[in-house]
Amino acid sequence: MHRTRSLALAALTVVATMVVSSCGVLADDSAGSVLGRTVTIESVDQLSRDEGFVGSQDSGVEDGSVPGDLFRSVLAFELQRTAWIAEADRWGLEITPEMTDAASQQVEAQLSATGATYERATRTKLEEYVAAQTALETRFSQLDPNNDGDLRLLYEGVPSYWERTCVAVVQIDPSQEAEVDRALAEGATIEELPEVVEGATQVADPSQCIPGAQLPDELREAFDAARRGTNEGPVAVGDAASGATYVFRVDGRTSVAFADAREELAQIAQGLAQQGAQAWIGLILEEAEVDPRFGTGVSSSNGQPTVDAPPMPLTPQLDLGDMLGTTPEAAVPEGDGHAH
């Protein structure tokens, strides 16, 4: 499953990522958005052209164009930076002069350690990012599982987590599809498939309603489209080597009200207070929108976001001059989903 979301909070070291070279349809000037805030193509373009930020070794940046993989890497960073700033604002946090000064010193220390030089606009973005991160980490360390105000802000932060699907799901081998179809046609229920199809495994019970935020995209979309009470599938998730195939039956859908979610929210607050805000930001980032010209969404690995590439074959370059309207005669590249 290539995008599985969870509120299970692992211990994470929170360090601002200063260099990324290692690593809905939106408005025409938008590369993506998170928490209602737009990340512009121009902003990603500026960072992509700052050699101190992305590194000058074979970056592939040319006049009017940036390689697709570099653009997505920088876009992932910009979405992450924007998420920290927006979430700090949503919690009503003040960025104090002391935080700003400390952020400036941290960026300067990073530059001194690497010998890099950033453009002024890049430094400003990084200082804003680090300051917001400091403010939010400080606030999260004070989360109180008995404070309804804290819990309400967590509840409202990831709405999709509280949208649940009550569903029976069985994982099968793709080679078993005909056998599964035959068993279902003969009257077997989804839950009975493991008894009549060797190797089939039940992985979800309708009594345990599943958060949409914890599902890979393929299953979430299939659940949303399914009629209640009907056998559905098979649905393939991931690639042939590491993916899985499922059949399922949706029995119901429900939204968990704040009052019913309070116990779970208290556990989440306690975990975040101990482990920091990085996992929370990762969850928010997987709610981000990405313009389909540049990717299909955001996934997280080891606390770091990745903009997933479009399904179409990639062209070598993104013509950012054309995207920004500065080179009106430039040809729009084919493939990579960039046509207007």
Residue type, 13: T
For residue 295, how many C-alpha atoms fall within 13 Å in the half-sphere facing its CB? 26
> Would you say 165 and 87 are in contact if contact means Cβ atoms under 8 Å apart?
no
What values do phi and psi take at 329, rounded to 5? -95, 0
Phi/psi of residue 291, nearest 5 degrees: -55, 130
pLDDT at 329: 37
What tens-digit pLDDT sequence spans the chain (340 residues)? 333 333 322 222 233 333 333 334 444 789 999 999 999 999 999 999 898 888 765 566 666 678 888 999 999 999 999 999 999 999 999 999 999 999 999 999 988 888 888 999 999 999 999 999 999 999 999 999 999 999 999 999 988 889 999 999 999 999 999 999 999 999 999 999 999 999 999 999 998 888 887 788 788 889 999 999 999 999 998 766 667 899 999 999 999 999 999 999 999 999 999 999 998 998 899 889 999 888 888 887 666 888 988 764 433 344 443 434 443 333 323 334 333 2
User: Are residues 167 and 210 in contact, defined by beta-carbon separation less than 8 angstroms?
Assistant: yes
Q: Which of 258, 84, 298 shows the shortest CA–CA distance to 154?
A: 258
Q: Are 234 and 197 in contact (CB under 8 A)?
A: no
Q: Are 48 and 54 in contact (CB under 8 A)?
A: yes
Q: What is the pLDDT of residue 120?
A: 93
Domains of the chain: 30-141+276-324 (1.10.4030), 161-255 (3.10.50.40)
DSSP state letter for 292: T
- Per-residue model confidence (pLDDT) at position 238: 76
What is the predicted pLDDT for the residue at 237?
Answer: 86
| C-alpha–C-alpha distance, residues 232 and 237, integer Å | 14
Q: How many residues does the chain have?
A: 340
Question: Contacts by 313-316 with C-beta closer than 8 Å and gap 24+?
Answer: 314/68, 314/69, 315/68, 316/60, 316/67, 316/68
* Phi, psi (rounded to 5 degrees) for 3: -140, 95
Residue 165 pairs in a beta bridge with: 210, 253
Q: What are phi and psi of 62, to 5 degrees?
A: -130, 170
- Rounded Cα distance between 211 and 139, Å, is 26
CA-CA-CA-CA dihedral for 185, 190, 193, 199, to nearest 10: 120
DSSP letter assigned to residue 291:
-
Q: How many CB atoms lie within 10 A of CB 109?
A: 11
